[in-house]
């Protein structure tokens, strides 16, 4: 029974695999892909560029960004246009100076950029090679204009450093007016080639000018050294003068201090002498007052008696010496005077 089932199962068809399904799908779509490839051509727009298209010779307004894009073959032409910074190099530009000398600018570099929003307008008016019109040809024109209005000395030496800016300004003015999508970033002009005979003359002139400059610089150095020496001498003199001034002021201050000290000592001496004089006057005054108070009759009698007692001479005779009588009279007189003075003081009180 089982063997019959196995033999029956062996004759049953197997289910289709996944690989067979994929092959069938590719078989169906390959003709479609081939037809599409015939109708459209795949192309790539590089970074820093935009894609512009012409159909039947007419510029299309459609502009594509960097990446892969499709276009119709034979009917649509494609061109990548750079919209980042680019450098156009203009070579071999002959020109004649105002004096009639022919010179040649071997290389002029122009750094420029086409703005993306002005690509269609610029290419519509001036084509893909817009830079030939506004950079290459314009540089030739401006260089010849510049040379024809300047002498060889000016072009080669005097105003050569200004040519870069003059060319940049001249290019940008016309681009701003007629092709506003073009921006001139910078212009670099190399030294022009001049005839050998004239170049040797310029070299000799440059050598002479260099010698003159060296002589001038040496003279400036000598003047600077002399000026420095002068300043150092003046500085030294000012320093000595300041030192002398300080010493003089110091001496004056010392003298003034001594004078003030002497004045103080004199004042102290005068004050001391005045105090001594006042004290002596006060003593004498008080002694005089004391003596005046002592002049009383009793005190005078006492003094009289003491004077008589101290007399060692004794007189003998019929009469006493007149001196004794006179002393008595003097005592009485002084007593009367004292009484009168006491009465007057009492009356005044």
Express each pLDDT in 231-245 by its tens digit: 999 988 998 999 988
Q: Where are the alpha helices (DSSP H) in 295-321?
A: 297-309
Per-residue pLDDT band at 38 (split at 50, 70, 90): low
Would you give the DSSP letter of residue 311? Answer: -
Residues forming beta bridges with residue 44, ordered by sequence position: 68
Please compute the mean of the pLDDT values over residues 94-113 and round it to a whole number: 93
pTM, rounded to two decimals:
0.51
Please compute the mean of the pLDDT values over residues 63-74 and round it to a whole number: 88
Q: 205 vs 52, which has greater pLDDT?
A: 52
Q: Residue 106: which residues within 8 A CB-CB, separation 6 or more?
A: 91, 92, 190, 192, 193
Question: 135-176: per-residue pLDDT in tens?
Answer: 999 999 999 999 999 998 899 888 999 999 999 999 999 999
Q: Residue 139: which residues within 8 A CB-CB, separation 6 or more?
A: 90, 93, 108, 110, 167, 171
Please compute the mean of the pLDDT values over residues 38-59 and round it to a whole number: 87
Between CA 236 and CA 221 the distance in angstroms is 22
The SS3 call for residue 277 is helix
Q: What share of the chain is helix, strand, coil (3-state, %, to 5)?
A: 65, 15, 20
Which residue segments constitute the domains of the chain, with CATH numbers given? 36-82 (no CATH), 84-194 (3.30.479.30), 295-349 (no CATH)
Inform me whether the pLDDT recorded for 297 exceeds 80. no
Strands 67-71 and 102-114: unpaired
Q: 35 vs 134, which has greater pLDDT?
A: 134
The SS3 call for residue 42 is strand
Between CA 174 and CA 210 the distance in angstroms is 41
**Distance of alpha carbon 158 from the chain centroid:** 34
Residues forming beta bridges with residue 81, ordered by sequence position: 50
């Amino acid at each position: 029974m089982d063997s019959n089932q196995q033999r029956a199962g062996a004759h049953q068809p197997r289910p289709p695999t996944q690989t067979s399904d994929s092959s069938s799908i590719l078989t169906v779509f390959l003709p479609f892909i081939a037809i599409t490839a015939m109708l459209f051509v795949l192309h790539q727009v590089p970074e820093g560029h935009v894609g512009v298209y012409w159909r039947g010779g007419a510029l299309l307004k459609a502009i594509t960004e960097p990446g892969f894009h499709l276009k119709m073959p034979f009917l649509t032409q494609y061109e990548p246009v750079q919209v980042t910074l680019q450098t156009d190099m203009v070579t071999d530009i002959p020109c004649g100076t105002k004096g009639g000398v022919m010179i040649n600018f071997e290389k002029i570099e122009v750094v420029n950029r086409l703005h993306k929003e002005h690509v269609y307008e610029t290419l519509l008016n001036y084509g893909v090679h817009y830079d030939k019109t506004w950079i290459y040809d314009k540089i030739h024109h401006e260089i010849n204009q510049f040379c024809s209005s300047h002498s060889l000395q000016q072009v080669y030496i005097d105003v050569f450093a200004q040519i870069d800016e003059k060319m940049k300004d001249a290019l940008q003015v016309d681009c701003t007016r007629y092709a506003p999508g073009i921006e001139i970033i910078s212009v670099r002009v190399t030294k022009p080639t001049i005839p050998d005979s004239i170049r040797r003359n310029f070299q000799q002139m440059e050598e002479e000018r260099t010698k003159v400059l060296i002589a001038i610089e040496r003279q400036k150095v000598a003047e600077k050294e002399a000026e420095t020496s002068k300043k150092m001498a003046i500085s030294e003199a000012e320093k000595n003068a300041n030192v002398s001034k300080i010493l003089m002021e110091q001496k004056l201050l010392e003298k003034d201090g001594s004078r003030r000290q002497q004045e103080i000592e004199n004042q102290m001496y005068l004050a001391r002498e005045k105090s001594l004089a006042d004290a002596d006057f006060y003593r004498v005054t008080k002694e005089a007052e004391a003596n005046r108070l002592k002049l009383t009759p009793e005190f005078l009698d006492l003094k009289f008696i003491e004077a008589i007692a101290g007399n060692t001479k004794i007189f003998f005779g019929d009469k006493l010496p007149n001196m004794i009588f006179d002393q008595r009279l003097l005592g009485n007189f002084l007593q009367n005077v004292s009484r009168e003075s006491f009465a007057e003081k009492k009356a005044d009180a």
